[in-house]
Amino acid sequence: MPVWANVFIRFYSLISLERRKTQADKNLLLLQSHHFLSMDPLQFGGDDPGAVTLGNFINYYEFHPPEERLNLLPDNLLLDRLNRPYVFLDIGCNTGALTTRLYEKLLPSIKSKDSCLESSENTCHMLGIDIDPVLIERAHGLNTHADRITFACLDFMSERNNEVFTQHLSQCGGRFDVIFCFSVCMWIHLNHGDDGLKRFLQDISDMAKIIVIEPQPWKCYKSAVKRLKRCHKTFPLFQNLTIREQVEQFIEDFLVTKCFFTKIHESLETKWGRKLLIFKQNQDTGR
Ligand SMILES: C[S@@+](CC[C@H](N)C(=O)[O-])C[C@H]1O[C@@H](n2cnc3c(N)ncnc32)[C@H](O)[C@@H]1O
């Protein structure tokens, strides 16, 4: 990326953040000034911040605010009455805006549902992971619930056994109460192929009681490829993908038939033409 483009993008981020002026934004502003000075580049192609290979868009929440998706999420389906704090995992959390809003949305429902959890401070813990260290550094800077939300830089596809997971899983009997996968499957699929997508689905179903997934339809793949092509880059595995037009159906069928989950909810479409699907582990699998 040319230096002028990096400077422009960082300058634009600073200005737009300044407009909002929350404490969290001010923290981020400090962080970004640091990045601005050290010029460590976020990974995108040419001068187009949309041309990314991992979905690690900068300023993602400027054009895809969390609220629309949160409004489509029925809390009551995610919360079983428990006598211990809930432990949630958000895979591909970007700068953590959706993770944080999820925590804030679920907290009151948990508190009202689970009056036997005496300490209101100790009702749930959220782990957000992302492969991009710069995004995670931003998430740390913006974290207004640092005692309850942990952000970690991890590649889910290669660090599944990382001790951050082990630690969190030990608090919830070996399975997260809910794993959230918002707009991340396509990036796993594009970078790890059909087998990678299957492994991802198998892994999340081994680690979760409930899965919330927002699959990207095939048209998003085509846009991602096109954006990269404009700066003369490709996804090397793209041509080999055999799961294509029906990718959303494939994900659903795989979770149901191979991973023994049941679909318990399908939302209306977002403005971006995506749905939120909720799957629950079958009780009788003994897994
Ligand atoms: C399009 S963004 C979605 C952000 C957020 N989940 C949302 O929907 O608001 C996809 C995110 O997934 C992350 N990501 C891609 N591959 C990943 C991997 N193997 N492990 C962890 N995070 C990954 C990217 O860095 C990016 O922040």
Q: Which of 80-89, 205-214, 274-283 has the lowest mean pLDDT?
A: 80-89
Q: Is 188 exposed, middle or buried (0-12, 13-18, 19+ CB in 10 A)?
A: buried
State the Cα–Cα distance between residues 86 and 32, nearest whole angstrom.
33
Please indicate, yes or no, whether residues 29 and 161 belong to a single structural domain of this protein.
Answer: no
Mean pLDDT of 184-197: 98
More confident residue, 82 or 267: 267
98 and 165 inside one domain: yes
- Closest residue by CA, ligand 1 atom 27: 94
| Residue 286 domain flag | no
Query: For residue range 150-159, what is the model confidence (pLDDT) as tens digits?
Result: 999 999 999 9
Same domain, 114 and 70: yes
CA–CA distance, 66 with 238 (Å, rounded to integer): 29
Determine, yes or no, domain membership for 228: yes
| 219 and 85 in a common domain | yes
Residue 232 clears pLDDT 50, i.e. is over it? yes
Asked if the structure places residue 143 within a domain, the reply is: yes
Q: Does residue 17 sit in the same domain as residue 65?
A: no
Whether residue 174 sits in one domain with residue 69? yes
More confident residue, 285 or 132: 132
User: Is the pLDDT assigned to residue 186 strictly greater than 80?
Assistant: yes
Q: Which residue has the higher pLDDT, 234 or 115?
A: 234
pTM of the model: 0.85
Domain identity same for 63 and 135: yes
Q: Which two tokens stand for residue 141?
A: 């800077």
**20 part of a folded domain:** yes
Residue nearest to atom 1 of ligand 1 (CA): 55
Q: Quick one: pLDDT at residue 120?
A: 54
Rounded Cα distance between 272 and 5, Å, is 27
CATH of the domain at 169: 3.40.50.150
Residue 129 lies in a domain: yes
Q: Are residues 17 and 123 in the same domain?
A: no
User: 170 with 203, same domain?
Assistant: yes
Alpha-carbon distance of 89 to 235, in angstroms, equals 27
Quick one: which of 225, 87, 226 has its CA closest to 169? 87
Q: At what angle do helices 3-20 and 23-38 cross, to 10 degrees?
A: 170
% of the chain surpassing 70 pLDDT: 78
Tell me which residues have their CB closer than 6 angstroms to ligand 1. 54-57, 60, 91-94, 98, 129-132, 135, 155-157, 182-184, 187-188
Q: Are 141 and 27 in contact (CB under 8 A)?
A: yes
- CA of 286 relative to ligand 1 center, distance in Å: 31
Residue-wise pLDDT tens digits, 12-31: 444 343 333 343 444 433 33
The confidence score (pLDDT) of residue 80 equals 85
Strand-pairing partners, residue 281, are 261
Question: Ligand 1 centroid vs 123 CA: distance in angstroms?
Answer: 26
**pLDDT tier for residue 83 given thresholds of 50, 70 and 90:** confident
Show the tokens assigned to 71. Answer: 């409004």
For residue 247, the one-letter residue type is V
Q: Is residue 101 part of a domain?
A: yes
Q: Rounded to an integer, what distance in angstroms lies between the CA atom of residue 9 and that of residue 6?
A: 5
Span 36-53, mean pLDDT? 56
What pLDDT is stored for residue 231 in this prediction? 86
For range 187-195, the mean pLDDT:
98
pLDDT of residue 12: 45
Residues 118 and 29 occupy one common structural domain:
no
Number of independent structural domains in the chain: 2
**Separation CA 77–CA 208 (nearest Å):** 14
Do the beta carbons of residue 153 and residue 130 sit within 8 Å?
Answer: yes
Ligand 1 midpoint to CA 155 (Å): 10
- Verify that 168 and 228 share a domain, yes or no: yes
Give the residue among 111, 109, 35, 47 at the shortest CA–CA distance from 75: 109
| Together in a domain, 63 and 33 | no
C-beta atoms surrounding 285 within 10 Å: 10
Q: What is the rounded average pLDDT for all residues in the chain? A: 85
Closest Cα to atom 16, ligand 1: which residue? 54
- Determine the structural domain holding residue 20 and report its residue range: 7-37
Residue 265 contacts residue 77 (beta carbons within 8 Å): yes
Label residue 273 left, alpha or beta by phi (over 0 means left) and psi (-120 to 50 means alpha).
left
Structure tokens at 259: 């991973």
Give, for ligand 1, the residue of 56, 129, 237 to mutate: max count of ligand atoms closer than 8 Å to Cβ.
56
Percent of the chain surpassing pLDDT 90: 70
Any domain includes 25: yes
Is there a domain that residue 120 lies in?
Answer: yes
pLDDT digits (tens, 9 = 90+) for 96-145: 999 999 999 999 988 887 655 555 556 899 999 999 999 999 999 999 99
Q: Are 130 and 92 in contact (CB under 8 A)?
A: yes
Q: How confident is the model at residue 11 (pLDDT cuts 50, 70, 90)?
A: very low
